[in-house]
Every structure is written in C-alpha cells, then in structure tokens.
A and B are shown apart, each in its own frame.
Chain A
Amino acid sequence: MSLMEQIYKTVILERSRTPRHRGVLDDPAIRQEGVNPSCGDELTLSLRIEDGVVQDAKFEGHGCAISAASADLMLDALHGATVEEARSFSAAFKAMIRGEPVPTHLDLGELTALEGIRHLHARVKCATLPWTTLEAALDGATGPVSDEA
C-alpha cells in the first residue's frame, strides 16, 4: 500500500467527495464556527439537541478531504448520541489521532480510518477541527474556535 493509500483510506475519499451530513440546520439549533486560520479551513457545525440527545446535526464549510471526512464521520457517530456520549467520542477520537490510548469500551467504528493521520503532524489539526468545534458547541462558546496553537 502506498503512503497515500495508507493516509487517504477509501472511506475518507468517499466521505470527502459525497458527504452525508452537509448542510445547515434551521433555528432553533446550536451553530458553532471552527477555523484553522493558517490553512484557511472553515467549518460551521449546526446541532439540534433535545432532552440531552443529539437529534440532528450538519456541517458546512470548506476544508480538505481529511477535515471533511472527519466531520462527516463524526456526525454519523453523533446522531442519537447523548451529550455525554458526544464528549466521550471527541476525547477518544483526539486520543487516537494523537497516538494516545483510546478507552476500550468506545467503538470509533469507521472513524478509525483516520488513525493514519497521526503520522502526518501537519494534518492532525485538520482531523481534529470538527471535534474541537463540536466541543465548543456543547460548551456554549461565543465565538469561532481553532485547532491551531
């Protein structure tokens, strides 16, 4: 397998070309912007949470294949998840992408396709931007967030 095939797994390419969760939810929904200024990547996440459960979620913006696939697969995992589960997924995903141990009781499913990104230091922030944006949305952040130090 070439280096490119190790990084850009089929599911990453598919989800970046034809995302399932692209769009913006109407009010009343939480809207949160995430930006990585040095890339110029921008992402708007909209979430509808009722009774502590994510009922619907979409993302919009422009970014690379890695950030788009990460966002789309994240939203797969979020649908029907409780806020607490969403936070756990985010922590587990970030642990995986940083090469840290992932709690065994959590199944990241297709998100594990992104694991190879941890070898590409310059691109880790592309994969984590949707998740940092999610955390900010759940925390009720008031402005755009970034995954750049």
Chain B
Amino acid sequence: MTVPTPPSLDPEALRAETPILGREVHGRPLVYLDHAASAQRPRAVIDAMARHYERHHANVHRGAHQLSAEATDAYEAARAAIAAFLGAPEARSLVFVRNATEAINLLARAWGDTHLRPGDEILIPVSEHHANLVPWQMAAERTGARIVPIPLRADHRLDLDAFAERLSGRTKLVAIGHMSNVLGVVHPVAEIAERAHAVGAQVFVDGAQAAPHLPVDVADLGVDAYAVSGHKMMGPTGIGALWVRADLLASLPPFLGGGEMIAKVDMERSTYADIPNRFEAGTPAVAEAVGWHAATDVLREIGMDAVWAHDHALGEAMIARFDAIDGVTTFGPRGADRGGILPFVVDGVHPHDVATALDAEGIAVRSGHHCAQPLMAALGVPSTVRASTHVTTTDAEIEALADAVVRARDFFAPRP
C-alpha cells in the first residue's frame, strides 16, 4: 500500500479525455466528487462501445456467422482482460454479472444455500455496504446460519482483535469489503484471509470500491471470491463480475437457469455447462463488456499504483483542509490505508441541505446513509455528506469543495 516515490498521473490530461467533465451545472463548471457512487466515462470507453455496435455486434457463443464470432471474441477478450486486471490466474473463473450486488447474490445462493448449516457463522464488518450484508442475511434466514458483526476501532479501522476473538470452527465465511465506500479505508484483506483460512472459513470480498482505486491481485490476497462493478471503474453500468477460485466455482450449482448455461437439455432435466458459462444464463451485456475492457485499458495505462497515490494524496488533502474548518466533523482513519473518500457533516446542518448547497455551485457529492446504515449507527449519525475522488480529480476541485462547504455552513448556521 505504501508507495515510496508515488508515480504521478496527469488529471488535466485525463479530464480532457472525459467529455462529461466539460459541462456546466446550474451555470457553474461541474465539480464531480461522487466517483464512489459511479465514475465518469473516458472517451475511449464511449468510443469502444459505439464501435462495437457499429461494426461487430451480434449475439455471442451461438451463431456460426462472422459477426457472432467477432462479438464472441470481443466478449471473451474482455473476460481475459478483466481477469488479468484483478490478478486472476484463469479467465474462466471470472463470471460476468449485472453488478457487484448481483455477484454477491450469486454467491449467497450458489454457495450459501449449499454450504451454510444451522449454527454456522458469517463474519461481516459493521461498515459493510448493504450489498454485502443483505444477501447474507437472506442466506442466513434460509439456512439457519447467523451473522456475527466485526466492530470498528475508535479510529474507524476494523478491530482485528475482535475479529480474531469471533473466529472459530463455526465460522464458515468472512464477507468483507476491500475498501469501505464510506470511510475510504482499505482493510487488511490478505491478513484477514490468512486467519480465516486457518479455521477453515471462506473469504469473499466485495471489491466494488477497491478495484477502481488500487492495485488488486486476488491471488496475492489469497481470497476465495472477489466481486467488482464496471461503472465504478469508468466502465458502463449494467455489468459487473464475480471472480471465484476455479475449483470452488466449478463445484457450485447454477444460480439462474436458461440458455447459454446448459450442456444438454431434455424435457425432464438438463445438464449444465462448465464454468464460467454455467453462471451466465441468457444473452450477456456484450457491448458493456467491451466498454469495460476499454476502461481497464485506460486504468492499466495510468497504472494502478499511480491511481492509488493520486487518490490517497487527495484524501489527505481533503482531511487536512476539512479539519481546519470550524463546525465540520470528518470520519474515517488517517494514514496510508486511506483513499480519496471523505465522509463529513456540517454540525447542525442536515447532509441533504449541504449537498443541495454544493449542487447549487455545480459540485456533485453524495448525501445520505451510503447504503451503510449499520455503519451510520456505529458513527452515531443518521447520514453524512461524502466527497469521493478519482483520476480526474484536481487539487482545485478539493479547494472549491472546501470553500463551498464553508459557505454552506455560514448559510445554514450563521456564526454569531
């Protein structure tokens, strides 16, 4: 995680390649600081999808005709590229899905329903996104397993001592986000996986927030499954992926039934295709896979070390700037394991009102509970404002944000 001499990236050059950043909002230049919710598309992604539709589109894995072969090649090339981007040893263990949420639901059904028994325990941090909590609550309800929360320390890092105390022979799964979508902290997933494996538990990681912002190598991390989302990585919406250790994936039953996922079908029963097709029923999001492939090429060209160094530096700059503002409270740890996400509240002012004030100045941030209500309870607030950065974010945007927050504070809660 520590980068001694941070490789640099040029946000201005990347901005020039991201058309939407040229627009205005309420007559002001757009300052987009909601990348954690959805990143913006570089021209390369938009062009790759247009080119696919203009030149190569057809259904995949079916027709004998030329276009079908080209579309299939493009789709499988995207699978290989995204698998490689995540450090996956084999492309066939990467399943395309709609989004990271669907990836986790797939696991909760295909693995959860076949492996969880009454009394089994699923360890989940209190800071998790609902996408990595609710599917497991549903699986626990179906199987009689139970959720055991892993608390945070006072500095908002995961409490690893409490985690160790909760690990036991009953632990069947540790479901954990690689990077918190609210606190911006990167959890020590490799260490957690090692300890979990020592008691025989599986480790499934929600990588939706980490994969766009830091180098990910699922083999190095030693985890059993890793879920990602295309649109947070500057790719299209409507596509995500689930990587699962090949031997584990091969042992799981299908999640959805239909075309594409079968070997042979007769009226009474069917046999199922090998991985990954067994988990890809129906026509997949082919153009989206192509666009996502292009997005990973952009990120690869920048270099994920450089992306992380940039986000981390912006995160530090935001914290330093906001800690100097009276009447503003920030959350999350300080340090090398913190990326470019800053949750904050203006004391006495509701986050929605702050977000509306920022929007009036063309600044896009998220306000609300960020799909992490148990975390909000742990932090003792109903909701927060959240600013989040990516490769196109500049220091000037952070300054604009901080200045606008001061104006919002003074508008809603005038100082005596």
- Chain A interface residues toward B at CB < 8 A: 2-4, 7-8, 13, 38-42, 62-66, 120, 122-123, 126
From known contacts A39-B368, A40-B368, A40-B383, infer whether A64 and B360 are also in contact, taking CB-CB under 8 Å: no
Cα–Cα distance between A65 and B411 once the two chains are bound (Å): 12
Cα–Cα distance between A120 and B412 once the two chains are bound (Å): 18
Residues of B357-382 whose CB lies within 8 A of A = 357, 360, 367-369, 373, 376, 382
B352 to chain A, nearest CB (A): 4
Q: Which residues of A contact B352 (CB under 8 A)?
A: 39, 41, 64, 66, 123, 126
Q: Are A4 and B376 neighbours in the complex by a CB distance under 8 Å?
A: no
Q: Which residues of A contact B369 (CB under 8 A)?
A: 38-40
Cα–Cα distance between A122 and B34 once the two chains are bound (Å): 16
Q: Are A3 and B360 neighbours in the complex by a CB distance under 8 Å?
A: yes
B412 in complex: contacting residue of A13, A42, A62, CB < 8 Å:
A13
Residues of B314-350 whose CB lies within 8 A of A = 349-350
Q: Are A64 and B350 neighbours in the complex by a CB distance under 8 Å?
A: yes
Q: Which residues of B contact A39 (CB under 8 A)?
A: 352, 367-369, 383
Cα–Cα distance between A76 and B368 once the two chains are bound (Å): 28
Q: Are A65 and B383 neighbours in the complex by a CB distance under 8 Å?
A: no
The answer to whether the Cβ of B26 comes within 8 Å of any Cβ in the partner chain is: yes
A118 to chain B, nearest CB (A): 14
Residues of B396-411 whose CB lies within 8 A of A = 411
Q: Which residues of B contact A42 (CB under 8 A)?
A: 382
From known contacts A3-B360, A42-B382, infer whether A66 and B353 are also in contact, taking CB-CB under 8 Å: yes
B350 in complex: contacting residue of A7, A63, A120, CB < 8 Å:
A63
Could you list some 29 contacts between A and B, CB below 8 A?
A2-B360, A3-B360, A4-B356, A4-B357, A7-B360, A8-B412, A13-B412, A38-B368, A39-B367, A39-B369, A39-B383, A40-B368, A40-B369, A40-B376, A40-B382, A40-B383, A41-B352, A42-B382, A63-B350, A64-B351, A64-B352, A64-B353, A65-B353, A65-B412, A66-B352, A122-B356, A123-B352, A123-B356, A126-B352
Closest to A39 in B: B368
A72 to chain B, nearest CB (A): 14
Q: Which residues of B contact A64 (CB under 8 A)?
A: 350-353
A40 in complex: contacting residue of B373, B411, B412, CB < 8 Å:
B373
Cα–Cα distance between A65 and B412 once the two chains are bound (Å): 9
Cα–Cα distance between A122 and B353 once the two chains are bound (Å): 11
Q: Which residues of B contact A38 (CB under 8 A)?
A: 368-369
Q: Which residues of B contact A120 (CB under 8 A)?
A: 356
Cα–Cα distance between A7 and B412 once the two chains are bound (Å): 12
- Residue of A39, A64, A66, A126 ringed by the most chain B CB atoms within 10 A: A64
Q: Which residues of A contact B383 (CB under 8 A)?
A: 39-40
Cα–Cα distance between A80 and B93 once the two chains are bound (Å): 68
- Residue of B26, B349, B352, B411 ringed by the most chain A CB atoms within 10 A: B352
B402 to chain A, nearest CB (A): 18
B130 to chain A, nearest CB (A): 10
Cα–Cα distance between A137 and B373 once the two chains are bound (Å): 26
Cα–Cα distance between A2 and B407 once the two chains are bound (Å): 13
Q: A8-B353, A126-B352 are in contact. List 6 more A-B contacts (CB 8 A).
A: A7-B360, A38-B368, A39-B383, A40-B383, A64-B351, A64-B353
Cα–Cα distance between A3 and B360 once the two chains are bound (Å): 6
Cα–Cα distance between A7 and B360 once the two chains are bound (Å): 10
Cα–Cα distance between A123 and B382 once the two chains are bound (Å): 17
Q: Are B373 and A3 neighbours in the complex by a CB distance under 8 Å?
A: no
Closest to A4 in B: B360
- Residue of A13, A39, A120, A122 ringed by the most chain B CB atoms within 10 A: A39
Q: Which residues of A contact B349 (CB under 8 A)?
A: 65
